[in-house]
Amino acid sequence: MTLNCAVVGAGPSGFYATAMLLAEGFAVDLYDVLPTPFGLVRAGVAPDHPNIKAVTRVFERTARHASFRFFGGVELGADVSRAELLERYHVVVYAIGAATDNRLGIPGEELLGSLPATEFVAWYNGHPHHAHRDFDLSAERAVVIGNGNVAIDVARMLVLHPDELRVTDAADYAIEALGSSNVREVVLLGRRGPAQAAFTNPELRELGELMRADVVVAAEEAALDPLSHGWLEQAGDATSRRNVALLADYAGRPPRGHEHRVVLRFLRSPLALLGDGRVEAVRVSVNRIEAGADGALRAVPTGVTEEIPCGLAIRSIGYRGVPVAGIPFDERRGLIRNDGGRVVDAGGRPQLGEYVVGWIKRGPSGVIGANKKDAAGTVAHLLADRDAGALGAPALPRPGDDWLARRGGRVVGWEGWRAIDAHETARGEPHGRPRVKLVSADELHEAANGVSAPNSLEPSRSC
């Protein structure tokens, strides 16, 4: 008896879960809102990091499994409902990620020139939902608020040399706009100190290797306060220690005289975005590190403020999920309600046959590989439920290849994605680029050559 599973979301967490379920004998249909798979590997990883994108080769091997099908261009809640999936599958796994951003909650956040990193990253990566955006890059200084890898990616993209951009798979319009940008200085703001920065070592290190940008860290801001020094010695991990050493090295480097700069500022929290109609400055609090009653270190304001003139303010303080009709959702945390990956209602009761993986399960944390361990945790609970006879009991059989196309949907199957992939890579080859992305849904569907949903399987019988 074949058990049928729908995985909603074709990013890393969705693919990892899919591979594990296929290995356990499930038949898996993988759905995604875009005609293209791979989620943030395609639309979130910085274009100048092609090695990170090599993980898609693992996912492509998963897609060759005889019990796998892909339905691209299908939006949960619009093209197909939660109820319709539960009617047709024993298991539904939500891997829809965290599609929007956390807000600063400060005055001036709605000014022109204030924007979330989520949208900016999607724009330069050619995400079809953001390709229409037109960002004003005429200011000479940008402030990026946040101390994680996404923040550092945004800062780096703003100062890359055009020659560094031209060999990437960034969207053509982004390569043109970033290459002709007036931004000369990017200030990265962290509310805590160097020991608490959330960068990974490679991301921080490569700032010092940029072709046309100096990295600037004030010596007094690179120095640790006594509490942070004690924490680093007693409990700090290797990543934090290496970050502190890298920042101290940057602080001691003489400038190379480049025309661009990335300035890392610590112990600074945004209080307000200032300007008449558009961003003209960021007012920040100067912080200090204190130990709370629980012993945890936190940044607290000193009462001193500063203003940093800028024309662009990009917040990068975390992603959060978006609720989907009918699926239990924790508004405070921006996650699907779950207990170890089992979807639960507000009372903590498991929802039969429903599971969750990835950022929409645990929040936006960890590198791509962290999603494999996360998916394994959910799948372990799912398999325990299978063995206990506690999965869903669908009333309808697994749908055929064309079930959504018959309803007027434009669905791209795996062969359609392969046609898109071949088209994009062929466009990039003459220019020494990994691909030239198609950035509109119409272009993507056209490149799929009308192969709307030609998956290789006949629908299996529901048990």
Q: Where are the alpha helices (DSSP H) in 265-413?
A: 359-362, 370-387
Tell the residue number behind the tokens 């502190």, with chain if given. 244
So what's the pLDDT on residue 450?
A: 53
Per residue in 258-294, pLDDT (tens digit) is 999 999 999 999 999 999 999 999 999 999 999 988 8
So what's the pLDDT on residue 293?
A: 85
Three-class SS state of 443: helix
So what's the pLDDT on residue 453?
A: 43
Same domain? For 438 and 416 the reply is: yes
Same domain? For 73 and 119 the reply is: no
CATH code of the domain containing 213: 3.50.50.60
Last residue within a domain, chosen from 286, 315, 344 = 315
Same domain? For 144 and 263 the reply is: yes
Last residue within a domain, chosen from 297, 315, 333 = 315
Q: Please check whether residue 288 lies inside any domain of the structure.
A: yes
Q: Please check whether residue 424 lies inside any domain of the structure.
A: yes
Q: Please check whether residue 243 lies inside any domain of the structure.
A: yes
So what's the pLDDT on residue 295?
A: 83
Same domain? For 133 and 258 the reply is: yes
Tell me which residue range forms the domain holding 205.
103-315
* Ranges of the chain whose pLDDT falls below 70: 450-463
Same domain? For 156 and 271 the reply is: yes
Sheet of 260-265: strand order equals: 114-116, 312-315, 141-145, 185-189, 260-265, 213-217
So what's the pLDDT on residue 411?
A: 93
Q: Please check whether residue 121 lies inside any domain of the structure.
A: yes
Q: How many DSSP H helices and E strands does the chain contain? A: 16, 20
In 3D space, the residue among 413, 400, 395, 375 whose CA is nearest the CA of residue 21 turns out to be 375
Element (H, E) at 192: none
CB of 388 within 8 A of CB of 381?
no
So what's the pLDDT on residue 401?
A: 87
Tell the residue number behind the tokens 């290459």, with chain if given. 179
Same domain? For 178 and 200 the reply is: yes
So what's the pLDDT on residue 325?
A: 84
Same domain? For 294 and 437 the reply is: no
Q: Please check whether residue 463 lies inside any domain of the structure.
A: no
pTM (predicted TM-score): 0.92
Total of domains in the chain: 2
Same domain? For 111 and 76 the reply is: no
Contact residues for 280 (Cβ-Cβ < 8 A; gap 6+): 274, 309, 310, 311
Same domain? For 23 and 89 the reply is: yes
Q: Please check whether residue 167 lies inside any domain of the structure.
A: yes
CATH code of the domain containing 329: 3.40.50.720
Q: Please check whether residue 460 lies inside any domain of the structure.
A: no
Same domain? For 58 and 138 the reply is: no
| Cα dist from 84 to 87, 395, 398, 433, whole Å | 5, 10, 11, 41
Same domain? For 235 and 110 the reply is: yes
How far is it, in rounded angstroms, from Cα 148 to Cα 317?
8
Q: Please check whether residue 454 lies inside any domain of the structure.
A: no
| Per-residue tokens: 163 | 């020659």
Same domain? For 87 and 151 the reply is: no
